[in-house]
Amino acid sequence: MSDRISLSSGSPWEEKAGYSRATRIGPLIEIAGTVAADENGVLHCGDAYAQSCYAIEKMHKYLRELGADYKDVIRTRLYLRHQADWQAVTRAHAKYFSEYRPVSTLLVVSDFIDAEVLVEIEMTAWVES
Domain ranges, ordered by start, for the chain: 33-123
In the predicted model, is pLDDT for residue 1 greater than 70? Answer: no
Reported as a pLDDT band with limits 50, 70 and 90, residue 2 is low
pLDDT at 17: 83
Length of the chain: 129
Spatial separation of the C-alpha atoms in residues 10 and 43, rounded to whole Å: 17
> What is the share, in percent, of the chain residues with pLDDT greater than 70?
98
Q: 23-80: per-residue pLDDT in tens? A: 999 999 999 999 999 888 999 999 999 999 999 999 999 999 999 999 999 999 999 9
Averaged over 5-17, what is the pLDDT? 82
Assess contact for 37 and 114: CB atoms under 8 A.
yes
pLDDT at 11: 77
pLDDT at 12: 75
Write out the E strands in the chain. 4-7, 22-25, 28-34, 37-38, 41-42, 73-80, 103-108, 119-126
In the predicted model, is pLDDT for residue 129 greater than 90? Answer: no
As assigned by CATH, the class of the 33-123 domain is alpha beta
